[in-house]
């Protein structure tokens, strides 16, 4: 007979992660086992499950990751032309941070959608949850439009359209708002110095700004 505790442990292992849980990990992970265990207790997850999500989100401390092998470069070039960063990282069994850094060094563009970001992507770049980004949008601090013409809603297909130039200026104005451990530093640097478009798909693209 299976004990209730074992059943609950198994459920915690297999239950899919939702966006709010991922946001919680980004905001509350401090690079320590203690903070990992606190997140596990708060979310009803196992520490091992939280550790896996930390690596998947690319917010783990750098601790001697395996060097890239030459054969992986060709695979990276192939994948980044077809899939978003998260999927590339999953297929290569590496963190999103590792994939982004290597792609940047190789001059590869990670974006097939040039010049703008969704709210979800902004959450990942700034290392904050969706409610906080929504508060920036609602206050007018971060200009955003409806990409499909319809206001985005939970579970809907519409998305927020946040111009790269708007996000860059927002970061310059409100940089003190963010925790340096949680932000996507590579993407932020690219935005601030105007290198967000790289590789064949980025070459020759016009600069984006907002008034």
Indicate the domain borders of the chain.
Answer: 70-105, 116-202
Side-chain-side CA neighbours of 101 within 13 Å: the count stands at 12
Question: How far apart (Å, rounded) are the C-alpha atoms in residues 49 and 46?
Answer: 5
- The dihedrals phi and psi of 196, each to the nearest 5 degrees, come to -70, -15
With bands split at pLDDT 50, 70 and 90, how would you rate the model's confidence at 56?
confident
Residues constituting the chain? 211
Fold of 116-202: Multidrug-efflux Transporter Regulator; Chain: A; Domain 2 (1.10.1660)
Whole-angstrom distance, CA of residue 203 vs CA of residue 157: 30
Q: Say what the pLDDT of residue 40 is.
A: 92
174 bridge partner residues: none
Q: What is the mean pLDDT of residues 93-118?
A: 76
Asked whether the whole model's pTM tops 0.75, one would answer no
Note the helical H segments in 44-112: 47-57, 70-80, 85-92, 96-105
Nearest C-alpha neighbor of 117 from the set 57, 188, 18, 180:
188
Instruction: Mean pLDDT check: name the lowest of 46-55, 105-114, 116-125, 142-151.
Output: 105-114
Which tokens hold the place of 87?
A: 């999927």
User: How many angstroms separate the CA atoms of 44 and 194, rounded?
Assistant: 41
Element (H, E) at 132: helix 130-139
Tell me, what's the pLDDT at 14?
A: 64
**Measured distance CA(180)–CA(192) in Å, rounded:** 15
Using CA of residue 180, residue 181, residue 184, residue 190, what is the dihedral sign?
positive
**Rg of the chain over all Cα atoms, to the nearest angstrom:** 18
At 197, the pLDDT band (50, 70, 90 cuts) reads very low
């Amino acid at each position: 007979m299976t004990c209730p505790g074992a059943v609950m442990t198994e459920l915690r292992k297999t239950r899919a992660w939702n966006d709010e849980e991922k946001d919680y990990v980004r905001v509350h992970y401090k690079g320590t086992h203690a903070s990992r265990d606190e997140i596990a207790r708060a979310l009803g997850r196992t520490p091992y499950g939280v550790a896996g999500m930390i690596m998947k989100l690319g917010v783990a401390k750098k601790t001697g990751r395996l060097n890239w092998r030459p054969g992986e470069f060709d695979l990276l070039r192939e994948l980044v032309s077809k899939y978003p960063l998260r999927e590339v990282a999953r297929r290569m069994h590496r963190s999103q941070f590792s994939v982004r850094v290597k792609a940047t060094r190789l001059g590869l563009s990670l974006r097939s959608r040039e010049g703008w970001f969704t709210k979800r992507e902004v959450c990942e770049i700034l290392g904050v949850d969706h409610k906080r980004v929504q508060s920036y949008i609602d206050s007018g601090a971060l200009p955003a439009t409806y990409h499909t013409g319809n206001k985005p809603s939970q579970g809907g297909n519409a998305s927020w359209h946040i111009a790269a130039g708007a996000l860059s200026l927002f970061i310059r104005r409100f940089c003190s708002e963010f925790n340096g451990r949680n932000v996507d530093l590579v993407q932020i640097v690219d935005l601030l110095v105007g290198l967000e478009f790289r590789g064949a798909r980025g070459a020759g693209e016009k600069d984006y700004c907002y008034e």
